[in-house]
Chain A
Amino acid sequence: MDLTLFLLLLGLTGILAGLVGSLTGLGGAVVVIPVLIIGFGASFPVAAGAGLITILATSSTTGSAYVRDRLTDLRIGMFFEIATVPGAILGATVTVLLVHANLNDALLVALGIVFLAIIPGSWSRRHEELPQGVVPDRRSRKLGLYGSYYDQGTGKEVGYVAARTTPALGVMFGAGVVSGMFGIGAGVFKVTALDHYLRLPMKISTATSNFMMGVTAAAGAGVLLAAGYVNPFVAAPAAMGTALGAYLGATILPGLKNRTVRYIAVPVIGVLAIETILRGFGLP
């Protein structure tokens, strides 16, 4: 294929992926990675490297808006990066070692399974109400993992405090491994830790998870880049398209009903995941 056409198609794929990713909450990389492998013939590590670059671009775009609006808890985000960063380094290193051991097919099967596993997270109804009666643990008190934000819905300043930091650290490490290994943001896992264990309000969980994704992706991308698996001709158009698509999804199309989008997009992601698994098994 002509290079210019290839770059344009990748950019358009990125825009679509960014739109779908932001409207479903799964993130653009979940669409970009299987399409790169199935549609464009990219190898697994190159697709994973492009996925991480895509996350870096979208996290810097949307992440800065959340920081500006003071919805990101910088202290909590930076504390839990102590778990996601080593996880991502381990995940990316394992990917490189498996590729060297000619286990690309096993990685494809694992990627498809991870995608199928995170889809239910986009369907589950997140609790909109504010957590009540949260008791901080000793680490949370020591590090001052609390804050407040202005809730536009209620018109009030809402205070919060982090609860169970130890299990949250474990989940964050796992999220880092998944992110570095497969090139996805693993936001479902991060939000689970922030929402379920720390018991932060949903808006703070979402914004802080997004903020952490950039640093987590930088750790994984650093390993894959230095190992030679970040191809800018694949990663750059996909990342630029996805960042634009995510921006459009967040700002220009707020009226689009998420439920409708999910009914269309989630089965498509499911089909892509199954196709990726079949490829791993050597089936057409």
Chain B
Amino acid sequence: MSGPEGTPAPPVARDDRLPPQAYRNIVLSLRTGLIAALVLLVGGIAAYVAVHPGVTSGEILSSNPIASFLTFSGLTRGLAHGSPEAFLTLGILVLVATPIVRVVAGFYYFERGGERTMAGITLVVFVLLLFALLVFGPFVK
């Protein structure tokens, strides 16, 4: 096995350039996001089925029930009114945002460690992810 210069790697050479809390906080952010999304999605579906008992799968598949909640104003209004579809939308958003949060965590730890190039790369990835959600998707809609 080779080290970074093609020379034998030291027997114990864990990546200590990132602090242990970077690993811990990334695990925590992934798990917290997943659990929050699951709670919102399960609760939202249960509430929707209770409120709309006669709905069929055909009706669900023929139109997107969350279409009117995909704007900031639509989502906040829906959440304020306790709409199950709004909570479902929030659950999906939390699931999509979970890996984005860990990109932000990566940027923070690389920046703090003085690794400007890696910090810049994670910042570009973060901006691209925001672009996908806020610009590309609505643009091609």
Contacts and interface: CB of A to CB of B under 8 A. Distances in A.
B57 A74 contact: no
13 contacts: A67-B26, A81-B122, A130-B1, A134-B2, A135-B6, A159-B3, A161-B4, A214-B99, A218-B98, A226-B141, A227-B140, A231-B60, A236-B91
Nearest to A90: B136
B26 A223 contact: no
A70 B20 CA distance: 10
A243 to B, nearest CB: 8
Nearest to A212: B99
Interface centre among A5, A74, A141, A239 (most CB of B within 10 A): A74
B1 A134 contact: yes
Interface in B1-53: 1-6, 8-15, 17-18, 22-23, 26-27, 30-31, 33-34, 37-38, 41-42, 44-45, 48-49, 52
A79 B118 contact: yes
B27 to A, nearest CB: 5
Nearest to A236: B41
Interface of A is mostly: helix
Interface string A158-201: 11110000000000000000000000000000000000000000
Interface in B40-81: 41-42, 44-45, 48-49, 52, 55-58, 60-61, 64-67, 70
A89 B13 contact: no
B92 A230 contact: yes
Nearest to A224: B137
Contact of B96 (A41, A130, A133, A222): A222
Give the size range of B's interface with the partner.
35 or more
Contacts of B31: 60, 64
Interface residues of A, number: 87
Contacts of A135: 2, 6
Contacts of B92: 53, 225, 230, 232, 235-236
Interface stretch (A104-112, A142-150, A257-265, A266-274): A142-150
Contacts of A88: 132
A199 to B, nearest CB: 9
Contacts of A227: 137-138, 140-141
Interface in A205-259: 214-215, 217-237, 239-240, 243
